[in-house]
Structure 1
Amino acid sequence: MSFDATFRTNRYDLVFVPFTGIDNHHHNVTFAGSLLASETAESYKWLLQSFLKAFGVAPKVVVTDQDAAMKIAIRDVFPDTRHRLCMWHIMIKVSEKVGTELSQDEVFKDDICAVVWTDALEPTQFETQWCDLMIKYNLTSNSWLSDMYNLRSDWIPAYYRHEHMSGLMRTTSRSESENHFFGQLTNTKLSLVEFLSHFDTAMESQRFKRSKRDHDTRYTQPAMKTNYELELEAVKIYTRGIFFDVQEEIRLACKNCMCRREEEVGDSIKFYILQVNLPGLHEVLFTPKDMVIKCSCNRYEQYGLLCRHAFCVLRLCGIKEFPKKYVMGRWTRDVVPKKTKVSSFDQNAAGNQVERASSIVREIMTATEHIVNRLVTNMDLLSLYRDQVIESKLKVDSADLPAESLDKNARLANILHADQPCSSSSATILPPSGIRNKGCGSNKRLKSFREVSSSRISKKTKTRGCLICGGHGHNSRTCKMKTTVADSQKSS
């Protein structure tokens, strides 16, 4: 799970904090959201305690930026959760901390990224290569890099290699994406009730996109890229987006992987797999009796999907049935139970009929989908059923159903599930006072030191005039008049 705070989400400058995870299509899903009056450790503790109360279980890994208040809250409320720092937020600061010369050195950038971002290194290998890098570029005395090295177990992938599903999230980019998504549907002029209504609209949009991906998974057929039986099985098991990842691994297993040698290790066989155009060998240990397969690249442990090296071994051993123990439920097409998407504002003033209506609608949708799936291969019966549905639709459209009309105050009371107070009663609930949080009041995002410095330089360049001609946009060294005078002096 990843969570990050926004700012300026409503007229009271309350901070909006969405909790973001990954669904079975490998897309963003919002678990929950909260409005905070302050970004203190106590506020985040209350928020995480509320999350724990609602879900009943703490996440295994939480990814945040280097916010100190978040760190304290996670440590106290989720003591067994691994807190991971966003790699992007750390790496974006490197160019500011190493000086102007190294920040423009492309070779240095490639070298440090090759050490930091890869998940192929063990912790000892990372430590050795990091120290060599610091010595090579004379950065051993850089205090900021030393501090980041001391925190290496909180953000370097080498220290997460053997943790289950640790490769899914390295940065808070999914939270940033969700913040942008919600920002498109909200603005700073909203009241709290209006913001809640817009949030519900955003959730309905997210659910609709997910339903569309579910539909594409069930009713469309992707093109096969190999003749391997496991690819045909994979398309029936996984959601469409996940299948494409599995399909690519199977394709590379058939086209680019080969076995250099194999040896028996007890009841198991160890294969040494070479991938074309890549150095080194991957060790794959396979036990045919129990269908247990383990690759040195740890892709299944990190992402929950078998790697190309494992598929290569399965193909060499003649395995034609997908190993069920390596089908992770979270990536399958039917992992999420079918539910009716009911808005939190669908409850009308007549009574509490939402749950009953939801149950009936759910039964109708389930029955309809079952009928379509059974008739999809029989065009005559499918056409007949379609005609019956269209006839029922026309009857409903022509029926004189009473339309509910509510004025603005009644609609707000309906949303809040509360009656309007009498005019004689005094209002005791007041709007929250102005909140001062990070970034509020400026109407702009916070800029880094490098951005501020570069903007100052550009402003100076625009306002400073040339000492020779008095013009703008250049200086005395590049002035055309200076060149003209110098040429005339040479000719004379």
Structure 2
Amino acid sequence: MDLWGNKWVSKTYENRSSWVAAYFRDRFFARIRTISQCEAVNSTMKTYIDNKSSIFEFIHKFELALRGYRNNELKAHFNSLYSKPFLTTSLPDMDAGKIYTTKIFNEVKEQSAEACALFVTKQVVNGDRLIFKLTKHCDPSTEMKVGCDTSKSIFSCGCRRFELLDIPCSHILCVMKVEHVDHIPSSLILKRWTKETKSAFVSSVSSKGVDSDAMKLA
């Protein structure tokens, strides 16, 4: 197909930084990158509401749907606070089970499992900074670089997963293992993914004169 000179193709290519995933590797979107969440809400609402609903029925059913969402949130928060997840790999827990919510912990757990298949092939010292080169088991052609500032416990990786999702990637976890780091440094922890975020938010709202119990159960 001859698309040379096609205006739409040329314009789309010029705007590639707005839609090509490679350009978003270092951008944090709080995991909202598509309209899939809106579509999921629309799909859920359709189970409660149809085009024959009156305005009174709409308000009543909308409140039922909203209560369902809030109940699911409370259940997830309860499970995060009172469950004790653990890693199933040989790597130490690094207090991840105490820090992250259950959902985020499961993602860190997946990265921990992938870290077990990684090897450090080279280490370069540059002042207080160390550069590690990593490869994957049975796939030596795949190489990744991880930078580590030993004085500040700051890690950076070429895959940019932390910048995108704000959880440590498998490459960083592998380097932490090599460096005998037994906890996840604060530089790799985003507060919004921790167990205490909701409680801290409720406390801050309550201090402003809002009934926190009413807000939780609304």
TM normalised by structure 1 equals 0.39
User: What do residues 24-81 of structure 1 show as CA deviations (whole Å, max 9, x unaligned)?
Assistant: xxxxxxxxxxxxxxxxxxxxxxxxxxxxxxxxxxxxxxxxxxxxxxxxxxxxxxxxxx
Percent identical residues: 26
Q: Is 1:317 aligned with 2:179?
A: yes
Q: Distance in 2 between matches of 1:297 and 1:223?
A: 25
What letter is aligned with 2:54? S
- 2:170 equivalent to 1:308: yes
In structure 1, what is the Cα distance between the partners aligned to 2:159 and 2:87? Answer: 26
Give deviations 1:156-204, integer Å, cap 9, x for gaps. 12222332x1482332111111110111111112233432222221111
User: Residue 485 of structure 1 aligns with which residue?
Assistant: none
| Structure 2 residue corresponding to 1:187, chosen from 30, 44, 50 | 50
Using the alignment, how far apart are the partners of 1:140 and 1:280 within structure 2?
A: 34
Superposition deviation, residue 223 in structure 1: 4.7
Kept in 2, the 8 Å contact 1:272–1:281? The answer is: yes
| CA-to-aligned-CA distance 1:197-221 (integer Å, 9 cap, x gap) | 2222111100101111122222333
- Residue 4 of structure 2 aligns with an amino acid whose one-letter code is T
The code of the aligned residue for 1:313 comes to: V
- Indicate the SS of the match to 2:167: coil
Q: Distance in 1 between matches of 2:130 and 2:53?
A: 64
Q: Which residue in 1 is equivalent to 2:206?
A: none
1:407-446 per-position Cα deviation (integer Å, ceiling 9, x unaligned): xxxxxxxxxxxxxxxxxxxxxxxxxxxxxxxxxxxxxxxx
Is 1:168 the equivalent of 2:39?
Answer: no
Per the alignment, residue 158 of structure 2 pairs with 296
Q: 1:199 aligns with which of 55, 62, 72?
A: 62
User: Which has the higher Rg, Structure 1 or Structure 2?
Assistant: 1
Superposition deviation, residue 243 in structure 1: 0.4
Corresponding residue number in structure 2 for 1:287:
149
CA contact 2:86–2:97 (8 Å) conserved in 1? no
Which of 221, 233, 248 in structure 1 is aligned with 2:95?
233
Structure-to-structure mapping, 1:404-419, within 5 angstroms: none
Query: Given that residues 95 and 183 in structure 2 are in contact (C-alpha distance below 8 angstroms), is that contact kept between their aligned partners in structure 1?
Result: yes
Equivalent residues of 1:160, 1:167 under 8 A apart: no
Contact map agreement 1:270 1:284 (CA 8 A) in 2? yes
Say yes or no: does 1:273 pair with 2:137: no
AA of the residue aligned to 2:20: I
- For 1:218, the aligned partner's letter is L
| Structure 1 unaligned blocks of 5 or more | 1-136, 340-354, 366-492
Q: What residue number does 1:210 align with? A: 73
- Cα distance in 1 for residues equivalent to 2:136 and 2:29: 24
1:319 and 1:194 mapped to 2: Cα distance? 57
> 2:137 corresponds to which letter in structure 1?
V
Are 1:160 and 1:166, in contact at CA under 8 Å, matched by a contact in 2?
no
* CA–CA separation in structure 2 for the residues paired with 1:332 and 1:243: 9
Q: Flag the structure with more relative contact order, 1 or 2, with Cα contacts below 8 A and sequence separation at least 6.
A: 2
Verify the 8 A CA contact 2:122 2:132 in the aligned structure 1: yes
| Equivalent position of 2:205 in the other structure | none
CA RMSD of aligned residues (A): 2.4
State the alpha-carbon separation in 1 of the partners of residues 15 and 55 from structure 2: 39
Residue 233 of structure 1: how far off its partner (Å): 0.6
1:222 deviates by 3.2
Give the letter for the 2:25 counterpart. Answer: R
Q: How big is the shift at 1:232?
A: 5.0
Number of equivalenced pairs: 207
The residue number in structure 1 matching 2:197 is 335
Q: Distance in 2 between matches of 1:171 and 1:330?
A: 20
Provide the rounded CA distance (Å) in 2 between the counterparts of 1:207 and 1:277: 46
- Give the equivalent residue in structure 2 for 1:148: 12
Secondary structure of the structure 2 residue equivalent to 1:170: coil
Give yes or no for contact 2:148–2:155 (8 Å, CA) kept in 1: yes
- What amino acid sits opposite 1:215 in the alignment? F
Q: Which runs of 5+ in 2 are unaligned?
A: 203-208
Alignment of 1:43-442 (within 5 A): 138-163=2-27, 165-166=28-29, 168-229=31-92, 231-253=93-115, 255-278=116-139, 279-337=141-199, 358=211, 361=213
Q: CA deviation at 1:239?
A: 0.8
1:232 to 1:223, Cα distance in 2 relative to 1, 3 A: same
Deviation of 1:331 after TM superposition, in Å, equals: 0.7
CA shift at 1:321, angstroms? 1.9
Task: Show CA shifts across 1:270-298 (max 9, x none).
Answer: 00011224433111110111101111111
What is the CA–CA distance in structure 1 between the aligned matches of 2:127 and 2:95, rounded to whole Å? 30
On the 8 A contact 1:282/1:309 being kept in 2, the answer is: yes
